[in-house]
């Protein structure tokens, strides 16, 4: 049976989700062609605000990369706006003349921002806030500094304001209504929100009507109706959106506020579907993602075959994606004689909650500050449950019902129904998560994200997802501690994100701005912060030696008797008579009791006294030997076999390539130790398949694998791909190392990082996308200028010597042999 032809106009989040459902239900039913007006792949538009603020990059928010389209045989026309639809000939035409015939057509043209037609609205420097191009324009403006005026105090406007403020601009928000976000918040919550934004240095003017945008060749200011003039170098319009329906109207489809559809998402033409912000279903148009994803699922089921699936309206909660601001609203919170308000205010904590009742049923809720019970109120709203029995304690939340005064999150989640929404961004209910865990044997948060998409977008529901996992898996679920240590409640991911987003460039700055609970940190958090700052600000942040463990500070591994072991580096396990003679002389001179060949093809000098370390290294340096970094959170070794130079089975020069890799990667700090291996043939004598990154030489080139472990945790590697040249191997190894450096949590090995971010994500960024790989590679090369140095020697690259000064051991008293990472 031949495939039908499916053409999709638009490549936003809704059509992307439609295709996911369609390929799952009927993978071979359609040949798919997509016309995308934007010159890029599908990305998560609700994450544009973190891109603007610097918390994420565009690569972080890509939903479907190039490899996904190729895997599913999709023809994607980028930057190709559709100019015509011939419903008789069943053909779509793009602006460049490209045509595509269809059997079924999906129109997902989204919406257009409303631009207030005041004088000056077409000046350069006036932007909307809808897509990545708008964000890029704002970032260019922010790089020049000055003041940004954001017109519109709704969700998008406030997210734009917070992002531009974090980028260093002065920001003024102009809002026509008396309070912010009046469509989602009541005046009391709007007041608290304005107060919080103003405390962050964002000027807010409510009741402000824009008269004109001033300027000649570019924006210079904004004039208000009351005559006030505000200087500005950037104006962002965020006052609303309109469904993009012109194309549908031109071809005779029924159009109201949006493209009108039935509950199956079919338009007035039964072979044409519509979904997303352009669609009007049951008299409503939607702008939040959860209903758009429901549209996608319904349309996919009907495209896959006969179906009874129907779109059903549901109230969608609102959240603001601004770090540190917690608000939640859902349902109807307008005033009326048939309604009853239940309100709780806590001025000291700046929190507010209001639940609106009608006929003893919840019809709306507004929470600011403490939003933990938002989901529970939403459940009561959807179920229509009579709450008269809990009326007196309703406002205190779920933990106070039935005589319970506990606040056990597991109990709260356990009481939720199977169709309770856990992840609003992706429309994932509790039952779907439980079923995925049960059917697929999922045990980690990363696996649940990969299979259900729950918590994969904004991440605010992560705690709820983990609670569902804990309930489903019982004692087998071991949640990692959220905080880095007792000094903070923030996890590693939040700390990494905020360091970058807020431009924090010192340990005291991090501790102050992120509200550390201790004055100086501890042995857990200070080394982690030191690494994150080194990784994020190469060349700007100066390494804090006092925030390193003793092994890293003195380039030697402390032993259980208080002596040290010294491991000189031998590139690729190769050495010479001069190096061996120097080692022998040092052993005799300093009466070093033991000499051992390590598993990493190096020689370990055991039993060195601490006071002898400078002199030992001085003598070794004189013979050209540098530190093997056997202690480092960095490259340890690149293990090699003799390869084609000596072995009759060797297909490539594995030793030579291993030395090149070692010299190129040596010196960069990484979240945890990194070990590589290059083996000369598939017989794998260098054990490449249990290393962090491994290279297996084959007749056709080099097979690259990664994510192995052979310590307390045993794990084989995952294949990344095969390349033809040594140059490609080196570029890929450096790019992957840099991606790991930027995303890994402190002490998180590569295999753990890969499981957390996803093997497909790494493959897409490092192997499939050459531009992304090159960008990571170039950042690695740049960071190498500031790589770690030996304390008593010149680096190979010629960095000046560092004078050795004995340092007090940070955290040494608390360290036990079990907490000191072994050298090999």
Residue 425 lies in a domain: no
Three-state DSSP at 73 gives coil
Residue 781 shares a structural domain with residue 646: yes
pLDDT score, position 10: 96
pLDDT score, position 723: 94
What are the tens digits of pLDDT across the range 323-374?
678 888 999 877 778 889 888 888 777 888 999 999 999 999 999 888 888 8
d(CA 716, CA 112): 49
Residue 470 confidence (pLDDT) above 90: no
Residue 289 confidence (pLDDT) above 50: yes
Residue 202 confidence (pLDDT) above 70: yes
d(CA 784, CA 790): 14
Average pLDDT of span 230-244: 94
Residue 592 confidence (pLDDT) above 60: yes
Residue 616 shares a structural domain with residue 676: no
CATH number at residue 758: 3.30.413.10
- The answer to whether 823 and 632 have CB atoms below 8 angstroms apart is no
What are the tens digits of pLDDT across the range 772-805?
999 999 999 998 887 765 544 443 333 333 332 2
Residue 398 lies in a domain: no
pLDDT score, position 794: 40
pLDDT score, position 552: 78
pLDDT score, position 691: 93
pLDDT score, position 412: 67
Residue 817 confidence (pLDDT) above 50: no
Residue 697 shares a structural domain with residue 761: yes
pLDDT score, position 789: 56
d(CA 692, CA 820): 20
Residue 204 shares a structural domain with residue 268: no
Task: Please name the residues in contact with 508: beta carbons below 8 A apart, sequence gap of 6 or more.
Answer: none
Residue 804 lies in a domain: no
CA proximity to 552, closest of 670, 446, 445: 670
pLDDT score, position 283: 93
Average pLDDT value over all residues in the chain: 86
Report whether 681 belongs to an annotated binding site. yes
**Would you state the torsion angle of the CA atoms of residues 112, 118, 121, 126, taken in this order, to the nearest 10 degrees?**
-80
d(CA 551, CA 553): 6
Residue 599's pLDDT band (boundaries 50, 70, 90)?
low
Instruction: Please state which of the ranges 430-439, 445-454, 576-585 shows the lowest mean pLDDT.
Output: 445-454
Q: Six-digit token pair at 578?
A: 């001069």
Rounded to the nearest angstrom, the gap between the alpha carbon of residue 123 and the centroid of all alpha carbons in its chain is 34
Segments in 415-476 forming alpha helices (H): 430-440, 445-452, 462-473
CATH number at residue 584: 3.90.480.10
What are the tens digits of pLDDT across the range 426-444?
778 888 899 999 998 888 8
The residue segments making up the domain with residue 152 are: 126-239
Task: Please name the residues in contact with 83: beta carbons below 8 A apart, sequence gap of 6 or more.
Answer: 93, 94, 95
CATH number at residue 139: 3.50.50.60
Tally of domains within the chain = 5
pLDDT score, position 402: 58
Residue 138 shares a structural domain with residue 107: no
pLDDT score, position 573: 79
Residue 238 confidence (pLDDT) above 90: yes
Residue 482's pLDDT band (boundaries 50, 70, 90)?
low
Q: Which of 147-156, 387-396, 570-579 has the highest mean pLDDT?
A: 147-156
Residue 538 lies in a domain: yes
% of the chain residues with pLDDT over 90: 46
Residue 105 shares a structural domain with residue 18: yes
Report whether 423 belongs to an annotated binding site. no
Average pLDDT of span 583-595: 89
Q: What is the pTM of this model?
A: 0.65
- The answer to whether 666 and 635 have CB atoms below 8 angstroms apart is yes
Residue 715 lies in a domain: yes
Residue 206 shares a structural domain with residue 231: yes
pLDDT score, position 822: 40
Give the residue from 590, 622, 654 where a domain finishes.
Answer: 622
Residue 103 shares a structural domain with residue 247: yes
Average pLDDT of span 571-597: 86
Burial of 25 (0-12, 13-18, 19+ CB in 10 A): middle
Residue 56 shares a structural domain with residue 95: yes
Residue 277 confidence (pLDDT) above 90: yes
Report whether 685 belongs to an annotated binding site. yes
pLDDT score, position 308: 93
Consecutive H or E run containing 147: strand 147-151
Three-state DSSP at 331 gives strand
Q: How many residues would you count in the chain?
A: 824
Segments in 685-818 forming alpha helices (H): 726-743, 750-757, 759-763, 770-783
Give the residue from 304, 332, 350 where a domain finishes.
Answer: 304
Residue 762 lies in a domain: yes
pLDDT score, position 740: 95
Residue 648 confidence (pLDDT) above 90: no
% of the chain residues with pLDDT over 70: 92
The more confidently predicted of residues 619 and 223 is 223
Three-state DSSP at 751 gives helix
Q: Six-digit token pair at 409?
A: 């999150």
Residue 812 confidence (pLDDT) above 60: no
- The answer to whether 551 and 608 have CB atoms below 8 angstroms apart is no
Residue 57 shares a structural domain with residue 172: no
Rounded to the nearest angstrom, the gap between the alpha carbon of residue 804 and the centroid of all alpha carbons in its chain is 40
**Would you state the torsion angle of the CA atoms of residues 572, 577, 581, 583, taken in this order, to the nearest 10 degrees?**
0
Which residues, listed in sequence order, are joined to residue 79 by a DSSP beta bridge? none
Segments in 630-712 forming alpha helices (H): 643-646, 654-665
pLDDT score, position 1: 61
Residue 687 lies in a domain: yes
The more confidently predicted of residues 1 and 744 is 744
Residue 385 lies in a domain: no
Residue 653 shares a structural domain with residue 569: no
Residue 592 shares a structural domain with residue 680: no
């Amino acid at each position: 049976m031949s495939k039908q032809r499916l053409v999709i106009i638009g490549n936003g989040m809704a059509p992307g989700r439609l295709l996911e459902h369609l390929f799952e239900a009927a993978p071979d039913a359609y040949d798919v062609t997509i016309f995308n007006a934007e010159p890029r792949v599908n990305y998560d538009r609700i994450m544009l605000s973190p891109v603007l603020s610097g918390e994420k990059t565009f690569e972080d928010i890509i939903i479907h990369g190039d490899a996904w389209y190729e895997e599913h045989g999709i023809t994607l026309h980028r930057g190709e706006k559709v100019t015509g639809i011939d419903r008789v000939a069943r053909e779509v035409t793009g602006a460049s003349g490209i045509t595509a015939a269809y059997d079924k057509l999906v129109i997902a043209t989204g919406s257009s921002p409303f631009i207030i037609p005041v004088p000056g609205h077409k000046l350069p420097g006036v932007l909307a806030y809808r897509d990545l191009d708008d964000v890029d324009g704002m970032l260019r403006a922010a790089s020049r500094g000055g003041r940004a005026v954001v017109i519109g105090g709704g969700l998008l406007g406030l997210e734009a304001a917070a992002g531009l403020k974090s980028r260093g601009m002065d920001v003024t928000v102009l809002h026509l209504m008396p309070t912010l976000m009046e469509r989602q918040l009541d005046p009391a919550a709007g007041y608290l929100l304005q107060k919080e934004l103003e405390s962050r240095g964002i000027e807010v003017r409510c009741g402000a009507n824009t008269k004109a945008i001033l300027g000649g060749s570019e924006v210079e200011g904004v004039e208000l109706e009351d005559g006030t003039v505000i200087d500005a170098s950037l104006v962002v319009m965020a006052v609303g959106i309109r469904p993009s329906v012109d194309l549908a109207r031109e071809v005779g489809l029924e159009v109201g506020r949006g493209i009108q559809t039935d509950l199956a998402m079919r338009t007035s033409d039964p072979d044409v579907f519509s979904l997303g912000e352009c669609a009007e279903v049951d008299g409503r148009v939607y702008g939040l993602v959860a209903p758009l994803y429901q549209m996608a699922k319904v349309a996919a089921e009907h495209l896959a075959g006969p179906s009874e699936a129907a779109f059903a309206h549901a109230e969608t909660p609102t959240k603001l994606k601004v770090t540190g601001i917690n608000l939640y609203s859902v349902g109807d919170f307008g005033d009326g004689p048939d309604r009853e308000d239940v309100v709780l205010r806590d001025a000291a904590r700046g929190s507010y909650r209001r639940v609106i009742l009608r006929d003893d049923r919840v019809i709306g809720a507004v929470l600011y500050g403490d939003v933990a019970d938002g989901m529970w109120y939403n459940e009561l709203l959807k179920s229509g449950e009579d709450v008269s029995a809990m009326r007196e304690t309703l406002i205190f939340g779920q933990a106070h019902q039935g005589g319970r005064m506990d606040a056990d999150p597991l109990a709260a989640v356990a009481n939720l129904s199977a169709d309770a929404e856990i992840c609003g961004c992706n429309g994932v209910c509790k039952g779907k998560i439980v079923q995925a865990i049960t059917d697929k044997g999922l045990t980690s948060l990363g696996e649940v994200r990969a299979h259900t998409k729950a918590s994969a977008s904004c991440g605010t529901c992560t705690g709820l997802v983990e609670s569902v996992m804990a309930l489903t898996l019982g004692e087998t679920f071991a949640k990692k501690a959220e905080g880095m240590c007792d000094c903070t409640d923030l996890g590693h991911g939040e700390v990494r994100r905020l360091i970058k987003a807020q431009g924090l460039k010192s340990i005291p700055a991090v501790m102050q701005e992120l509200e550390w609970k201790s004055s100086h940190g501890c042995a857990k958090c200070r080394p982690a912060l030191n690494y994150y700052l080194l990784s994020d600000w190469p060349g700007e942040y100066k390494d804090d030696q006092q925030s390193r463990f003793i092994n890293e500070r003195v380039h030697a591994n402390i032993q259980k008797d208080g002596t040290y072991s010294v491991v000189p580096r031998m590139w690729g396990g190769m050495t010479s008579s001069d190096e061996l003679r120097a080692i022998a002389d040092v052993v005799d001179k300093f009466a070093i009791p033991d000499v051992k060949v390590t598993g990493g093809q190096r020689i370990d000098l055991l039993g060195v006294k601490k006071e002898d370390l400078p002199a030992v290294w001085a003598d070794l340096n004189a013979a050209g030997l540098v530190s093997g970094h056997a202690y480092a959170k960095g490259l340890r070794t690149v293990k090699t076999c003799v390869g084609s130079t000596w072995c009759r089975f060797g297909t490539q020069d594995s030793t030579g390539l291993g030395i090149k890799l070692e010299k190129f990667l040596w010196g960069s700090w990484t979240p945890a130790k990194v070990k590589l291996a290059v083996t000369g043939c598939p017989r794998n004598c260098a054990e490449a398949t249990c290393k962090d990154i491994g290279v297996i030489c084959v007749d056709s080139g080099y097979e690259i694998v990664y994510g192995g472990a052979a310590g307390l945790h045993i794990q084989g590697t995952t294949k990344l791909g095969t390349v033809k040249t040594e140059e490609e191997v080196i570029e890929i190894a450096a790019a992957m190392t840099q991606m790991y450096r930027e995303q890994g949590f402190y002490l998180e090995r590569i295999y753990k990082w890969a499981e957390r971010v996803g093997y497909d994500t790494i493959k897409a960024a490092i192997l499939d996308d050459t531009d992304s790989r090159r960008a990571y590679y170039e950042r690695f090369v740049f960071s190498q200028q500031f790589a770690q140095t030996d304390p008593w020697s010149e680096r190979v690259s010629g960095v000046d010597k560092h004078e050795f000064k004995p340092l007090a051991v940070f955290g040494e008293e608390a360290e036990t042999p079990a907490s000191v990472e072994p050298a090999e």
